[in-house]
Structure 1
């Protein structure tokens, strides 16, 4: 049973990512990427919705994906992978292992390599925000997958990003594609294909900043962080990483001292976005690099997700840190670390930072924890009954905290130091993607449909 739970933790998202979060304001967030603090500033957004309440339109999903939708102006973009042809199961017998001691080691189970003969179509779609009508759809690639994925995951876990002029979509080990706002292909780039942990697939989304596209390619064979010229696709710099497979999306952190590109893994690392120079690093702990950091001008807050045998920690790192800032054994501070909560319970959804408080949502069980961002002290920890698995990141709007589980049930809490459950909303679909929001409307992307929710 433990093995099954562990596998499920990696069905990203993402971001997923999970995953993997999506945009939080009309345009600004898409310059940075899909996984930063989701504080919604929109006006006239609904507080209640359901299958027949405040639904402006729905559009059928074409293909499958755990990536989040994004919005720019009057356009909604989403990526997906469509199974064109499923190959018959093809079992490859593994070589028998040599004798160990007085007996034979049990042979490994046969491996199904039929995925190498599957045919998929990787595509990006653009919808009209007002009507849900499809404006254009572009096929980036059609052919065989280059890596294996978890049976519960998809080949389109990474969220696209846009600056309004160009749209960038990364499909893990398939490649990076850049389109103009009308769907014309500008450039494409193959970053290689490498095995992932247990063949579970990929999830980290690209980040766009100052006409540079940053892509984190962590895997079991050749991990690296690469910066691409967003206009031409030419490589500006590449940094090798002593990491295995990760799923967390990097963030650009503009703080009171400088601008940093922060990534998570077995270590948290900060890079100079211009040169790729390593600024600081620290040992993270936890189990899985899935959620992404949140930040303000003076500090950045992050941690890896926990698992059945580990609890996710939460760190606060001050702006201007330098070098190895890992606290000494048994310590919770260092020259760069303001505080550390070793058993904070960081999980798959990214944390939420709002008005000096950090909210942590559990992957399962309906637990929500609130910490003081200045001290790391626990403000409250509560459990909400009946909450399903949570993959999408929470968001805040009009002093209320929102989060939804995979069954489409949204819980609404009052923001602040006292826990108060305000209301619940529900849509009948399956949801792992985080929301997008603009022009008085939310965009939810389910397995069956895309929903525009507005008054």
Structure 2
């Protein structure tokens, strides 16, 4: 180790010690004996058959969920523990531990402690023996279960609120909430509510506290939406007046709390057969709600639906760059971060990225982009040098300084059509696209600078940890969960890589009951991956290095959106309804 490295480590340790001492003044450590911790160890079952296995690990209390997630809990008292946003309280009667209360986002669930006889009689899934064997085989090949550190990172981005496309940092993770892993809307299984939404919209559900937001475009003409795998570039001919609407629902009951019509007009740009005039997902920070209808403008509301400001950005034509007669509608979603609004506009002419003050709509900076149309949403990430805005597009993926809009790095050799959203995990920035023949996957270091473009045949460099020229997804955004990167193709092929090294772990065709056509992106919670097809079938997969199907679930209508998870509920937007399963 160099003298400089040693000095850096010493400074880090000293800083960590100072932070720990400062926190201890406000959050004094609760001392609990190992005997007490051992008394809490055991298996607990709720009325809904949700299972917790609790044990003592390294002098602390660990909770393992049914899905495989494991969380270390901090002691608040001799019977109360928490992990940041969830609380656990043991019920002790006459010195005997009878059960526990698990509270998350204000919702309480009771668990009963099982006896040894009851534990022995618990049903064992038919695939468990095979899973154990396969897991052992995979571990021998160098692909173990995810590390404690990665699970902790995933828990850190989980929370009650899901304020943008795919939640915090576009990571799509909601650990610690125990959403259901099986449901059926037509049979009413696990269906808490469903609410009809008129018109057409591909904006995904966004939830903040007890409120859910979506947008739609309503026309007097019968809505035409063509799903499936096809290569038609045609636009929909519809010159009728549309009503561009933002809906706010009660996330607990599905009741419509308010709706606001942004404008009524004939859309300035036509849409693709699989597209809508309300593609962009709403963004909210709990104070403001931003809805973006492409060429029809940006609208900022309060949480109660009062219009704060509106802005016309002009004609935003995202269509086929080889023939401008074929228009496909806009696709990027707004992003809110630190009271700033970020909008990426990759269009036929004069593409740009810009930042605005969300309270006023005033422009802070605007940077021109040498780009043709793309449909990707930007992401704000933290780097050692400060905040960056990362974008994906046809010409290049880029990193911009959050404060100034100045380009920091770029990497070329992308697909002609770029859709997946960039995100950061495990100290790397993941960027991908999958329109043939170029289907790149890039894992870029957080300290990247300059032109990162790789020469032909080169797969890594100073700032590119690893890459691949094949396997990038066309529509769905990949997800890093635990130590693994999962990529779902638009044809339903799920590929698992080791996230940090890029090593291929497995490649499997999803076992769907219906068609295998995917537009929505995967999400994850408590050891499970959720992937929803265009027919509204959600397949649940066990996360980890071994492929294991958990269930096939149905909402009964087409779905070209990404689900959201909040308060232990999974929200799915179908073509005609919002569904809540819990």
| TM-score of the two chains, using structure 2 as the length reference | 0.67
Equivalent residue number for residue 367 of structure 1? 493
8 Å CA contact 1:24, 1:436 repeated in 2: no
CA apart distance, 1:114? 5.9
Greater RCO (Cα-Cα under 8 Å, separation 6 or more): 1
Aligned to 2:182: 48
Change (3 A) 1:170 1:42: farther
Q: Radius of gyration: which is bigger?
A: 2
Tell me the residue number matched to 2:274: 152
**Which sits farther off after the overlay, 295-304 or 72-81?**
295-304
Query: Counterpart of 1:196?
Result: 318
Equivalent in 237, 240, 255 of residue 368 of structure 2: 240
Distance change >3 Å, CA 114–CA 29, structure 1 → 2: closer
> CA–CA distance in 2 between the matches of 1:76 and 1:326?
41
- Kindly report which structure 2 residues correspond to 1:2-401, keeping only aligned pairs within 5 A, or say none: 25-27=159-161, 29-30=163-164, 36-51=170-185, 52-84=188-220, 115=238, 117-197=239-319, 198-266=326-394, 267-296=396-425, 298-307=427-436, 310-364=437-491, 366-386=492-512, 387-401=515-529
Structure 2 counterpart SS, 1:173: helix
Partner of 1:16 in structure 2?
none
Tell me if structure 1 keeps the 8 A contact 2:434–2:472: yes
- Distance between the aligned counterparts of 2:274 and 2:409, measured in 1? 36
Q: 2:557 aligns with which of 426, 429, 432?
A: 429
**Deviation, structure 1 residue 385:** 3.9
Counterpart Cα distance in 1 of 2:542 and 2:178: 18
Per-residue deviation, residues 105-130 of structure 1 (Å, max 9, x unmatched): xxxxxx99964x42000010111112
- CA offset at residue 263 of structure 1? 0.3
Shift of residue 73, structure 1, vs aligned partner: 0.7
Which is helix-richer, 1 or 2?
2
- Alpha-carbon distance between aligned partners in 1 of 2:553 and 2:194, rounded to the nearest angstrom: 17
Using the TM superposition, give the Cα deviation of residue 211 of structure 1 relative to its aligned residue in structure 2, in angstroms: 0.7
- Displacement of 1:32 after TM fit? 9.3
- The 3-state SS of whatever aligns with 1:290 is coil
CA contact (8 A) 1:77 1:160 kept: yes
Per-residue deviation, 1:195: 2.8
1:379 CA displacement: 0.9
* Alignment coverage as a number of residue pairs: 405
What 5-or-longer segments of structure 1 have no aligned partner?
1-22, 87-110
**Cα displacement string for residues 204-240 of structure 1 (whole angstroms, at most 9, x for unaligned residues):** 0011111110111111112110111100000111111
Alpha-carbon shift at residue 422 of structure 1 (Å) = 2.0
> What is the Cα-based RMSD across aligned positions, in Å?
2.1
What is aligned with 1:438?
566
Distance 2:281 2:164 in 1: 10
Structure 1 residue 414: Cα displacement: 1.4
Secondary structure of the residue that 2:170 maps to in structure 1? coil
User: How has the CA–CA distance of structure 1 residues 222 and 132 changed in structure 2, closer, same or farther, with 3 Å as cutoff?
Assistant: same
| SS of 2:409 mapped into structure 1 | strand
- Separation of aligned partners in 1, 2:199 and 2:333: 19
How high is the TM-score relative to the length of structure 1?
0.85
